Amino acid sequence: MMRRLLALFALLLIATLAALAVMPARWLIPALPSNWPLAIIDAGGTIWSGSAVLAVGTGPHRRRLPDPVTWHWSFRSGPRLHFGHPWLSGPLTLALTPRGITVSAQTLTLPAQALASMDARIAAIHPHGRVTLRWPATRIGRQMQTATGKPLLEAEWRDAASSLTPIHPLGHYQLTLNKAEQGARLNLTTLSGPLLLEGKGMFDRRRGLQFQGSAKALATAGPTVHAALQDVLGALGPRKNNVTLLQYR
């Protein structure tokens, strides 16, 4: 009797795996919640090896990515899901282990126009340039222990520009995300340029993003530069004492 049950279980398992192997990738389209800042527009192939066209952002600020994301599974060294995209410097791998999911270190370079999908104020300045995101290998799981202060993400906006001003470049900016006791700590700094952006914040699951910063023209810049930056500063937020307040919650 036990052998028959085991044989039946094996047959059901084989049938399930066979069905999953040919499951259309387009079935993934409704998998993401509608209020997420990421959506699957179209998909092809199967859930084991396929491609999908994605869009980032929410509401009217959602932007479709120009190239599809590809993926495939491998099982030689345990279950691994490999992602590929022209903006990635190489494959992004998610390894499934008993202790959680390990995300490989990677670098993502994208046009600054993608920043417009993050917030209406950023969309209003029509950003240009290039943004580079870097992150170390990270394990996600219940027993994940990351030392306080450890880098989680580094973002750089190089050759920053805006359609609202002829000043080019506006600057070179860096945003770092480091592990805190509760969540992560953000720090925005200006590495160079006449438009100074700076700020600090926190991110955690309970309160979400809490960020406060400022934007202003470099004090030593001439009056022509100050005048040319006024439209950008006005679009980024309310002003107080010639300083634009950057608040994101």
The residue length of the chain stands at 249
Res 231 pLDDT > 80: yes
> Phi and psi (nearest 5°) for 16?
-65, -45
Query: Residue 9: its pLDDT value, please?
Result: 44
- The C-alpha atoms of residue 206 and residue 44 are separated, in whole angstroms, by 36
Under DSSP, the state recorded for 104 is: P
- The C-alpha atoms of residue 67 and residue 63 are separated, in whole angstroms, by 12
SS3 call for 227:
helix
Which of the pair, 156 or 182, is modelled with greater confidence? Answer: 156
**How deeply is 189 buried, as exposed, middle or buried, from its count of CB atoms within 10 A (0-12, 13-18, 19+)?**
middle
Res 20 pLDDT > 60: no
Report percent pLDDT > 90 for the chain.
46
Long-range pairs for 57-65 at CB < 8 Å and ≥24 separation? 57/116, 57/117, 57/118, 58/117, 61/116, 61/117, 61/118, 61/119, 61/120, 61/123, 62/117, 63/113, 63/114, 63/116, 63/117, 65/114
| Other CB atoms within 10 Å distance of the CB of residue 111 | 13
Q: In 38-181, which residue ranges form alpha helices assigned H by DSSP?
A: 120-124
| Mean pLDDT of the region 177-191 | 89
SS3 call for 34:
coil
Res 145 pLDDT > 80: no
Q: What is the pTM of this model?
A: 0.82
Q: Which residue is it, tokens 């222990």?
A: 145
Least confident of 6-10, 130-134, 216-220, 233-237: 6-10
